[in-house]
Copies of this chain bind each other. A is one copy, B any other.
Amino acid sequence: MLYLPEIKKNMNLESQGERAELFRSMHHRGKGVLILPNAWDVPSARLFESEGFPAIATSSAGMLVSLGYQDNEDIGLNDYLAAIKRIAQTLSVPLSADILSGFGSSKKDVEITVKGVIESGAVGINIEDFDHETKKLHSLEKHLEKIKAVQEVSETIKVPLVINARTDAIRYADGDERQRFEEVIRRCRAFRDMGADCVYPMGLSDKTLIHEFVRALDRFPTNVMIRKGLPSIKELEDLGVARVSFGPSASYATMGFLKRISRELLGNGTFSLLVNDAISFDELLSLAKKREEKS
């Protein structure tokens, strides 16, 4: 059982609960695709918000690499939550946090993590069923237990976190390609039946397989990640996909952009990419303003 009074008294859980429900409502079928940009730090998150995305997510890889870590739980829970909180407190729209596989293997570990995630101000999570270190899938039962832990904390604290349950079975399950795809379906159906809000078959990007997957899940909200070769947003919408996230692609693209800036400077001695179509100093500072400070 969680100790409720620990949740900071100055948090407005009611409005956090409303943000969670608002975020949940963005996943309903027939409302069109939710395009969810994953940010790596405060200004990347705020920039996406100010451009009009209705909700923001964190990218674990983007955020961890930005802080000098590999894409695993080495950073430790407290520093990770602090990074989520820095972003959450600047956003007005809902924030979903990628929490890897929950920072720990026990139900209790996941409870502690989720409590911290809610305290940090996020209203949704991604939770995945494999270990980044060993590249091994957890058992389905283990992942269902973790999802249940998330639900129990959400209920106790009365912030109904939106749960995006991810499986990496496409890459890490046993068997051939077809068997692994069927394991993805089996797992995602179980996540759905357990009460997850959205399922995330990581690595699914082929149009025919997406079609088959969405039908096998009875058009249950499904998240796919943007990558080269993914069908267009319009096609994904027609396929019945509910949500398209960036994953770490904004970090990949930004590093590519910094390469082009570097090559222009070191190759030509010019800096047009660095100064054209850029924002100003004041705009940059405005991206770090906390929610209550924003005009």
Contacts and interface: CB of A to CB of B under 8 A. Distances in A.
Interface residues of A, number: 70
Interface stretch (A22-30, A136-144, A271-279): A271-279
Interface in A222-273: 226-228, 230, 232-234, 246, 248-263, 265-266, 269-271, 273
A35 to B, nearest CB: 6
> Chain A's interface: helix, strand, loop or mixed, by majority?
helix
B47 A255 contact: yes
A92 interface: no
A77 interface: no
Contacts of A252: 278-281, 283-284
B266 A53 contact: yes
Interface of A: 35, 37, 41-44, 47-48, 51-53, 61-62, 64-71, 86-87, 89-90, 226-228, 230, 232-234, 246, 248-263, 265-266, 269-271, 273-281, 283-285, 287-290
Contact of A254 (B51, B254, B265, B281): B254
